Amino acid sequence: MLTQRMTTLVEQWTAVGDRRSIFLACYQRMTENMLSAVVHHDFFDPDWVAHLIGSFADYYFAALAAWERDQSGPAVWQYTFTYANRQNASVAQHLLLGVNAHINCDLVLVLDDLLHQEWPLLSAEQQRQRHADYLAVNRVIEQTIDRVQDEVIAPYSATLQLLDAVCGPFDEWCTARLIRNRRNDVWRQALAVMSLNDQEEHLTARHQVDRLALARAYLLSGNLTEVRSFGYPLRWLKRLRLLQAINTTRRYVC
């Protein structure tokens, strides 16, 4: 089972202090809630969404397998897995680097995989339903954010738990808006990639997806000046618990 595979890895990595566990623990909870939504028919086409979930996870595990084999794979995942060795980096950085690689690279590519052939054959209504199912995932993410913060991030810092009590639902609301905004951009990016019928241009565009995600990873792990990591100014990100410890020499407060 997919979520059990994730849980097993999280437990193994947590036991040895491998910080790849931070993103995967988040991803496991998101996947668990997504599969539950599929079972409860919260989508126009649950089968298509189930296929999306499985294919999306395949990209992560393929990147992980390539890295563990010979430290190869997509450039953004190479950087993210290497960065996981940095114990002095914040929990937020480890989490956001994983989110960046999986959404800004893998999600674009898996949407291209699933839609490239079928999109021109779908009616306008079917295309609308595909997009609606994609947007419905945002609701699942919103419902999972508080659990991720409480179960994955908060145990690393008592300060984060205090901030959550002070800020109430505001940080979860901001986080949901940030992720929703980024996923909207990913959908548009995927449509642009899959519209390229020339094979060479299409492959070049897919490689560019990896390079753009890598550039964003550089910013997330270092220079935050004027960074709009998920489509919002840094002043928004400062209000989130996720970024409370992104720079160990500073303290963000609500």
Interacting residues of 243 by C-beta distance below 8 A, sequence separation 6+: 90, 92, 96, 237, 252
Number of H helices, E strands in the chain: 11, 0
**Per-residue pLDDT at 236:** 45
Amino acid at 102: H
Would you say 54 and 48 are in contact if contact means Cβ atoms under 8 Å apart? no
CA 11-17-18 angle, to 5 degrees, is 80
Model confidence band, residue 176 (pLDDT cutoffs 50, 70, 90)? low
8 Å CB contact between 98 and 108 = no
Handedness of CA 128, 133, 137, 139 (dihedral sign): positive
Burial of 139 per CB tally in 10 Å (0-12, 13-18, 19+): middle
**Residue 172 or residue 61, greater confidence:** 61
**Two tokens, residue 112:** 């291209």
Residue 254: both structure tokens together:
């609500």
pLDDT band at 241 (very low <50, low <70, confident <90, very high): very low
Specify whether the CB–CB gap between 149 and 241 falls below 8 A: yes
Residue 110 parent element (H or E):
helix 108-115
Q: pLDDT (tens digit, 9 = 90+) per residue, 43-67?
A: 999 999 999 999 999 999 999 999 9
| Structural contact between residues 43 and 118, judged by C-beta atoms closer than 8 angstroms | no
Average pLDDT over residues 175-185: 71
Residue 74 pLDDT: 97
Q: How far apart are CA 100 and CA 213, in angstroms?
A: 7
pLDDT in tens, 122-151: 999 999 999 999 999 988 888 887 777 777
Residue 229 has pLDDT above 70, yes or no: no
Give residue 177's pLDDT band: very low, low, confident or very high (50, 70, 90). Answer: low
Question: Tens digit of pLDDT for each residue in 3-12?
Answer: 999 999 999 9
Picking from 51-55, 75-79, 151-155, which range would have the lowest pLDDT averaged per residue? 151-155
How far apart, in whole angstroms, are the C-alpha atoms of residue 249 and residue 179? 26
Q: What is the pLDDT of residue 28?
A: 94
pLDDT at 145: 77
Nearest to 8 by CA among 23, 25, 31: 25
Q: Give the integer Cα–Cα distance in Å for 72 and 78.
A: 7
- Establish how many alpha carbons lie within 13 A of residue 249's alpha carbon, considering only the half-sphere containing its beta carbon: 0
Contacts of 85 (CB under 8 A, 6+ apart): 19
Region 242-248: mean pLDDT is 39
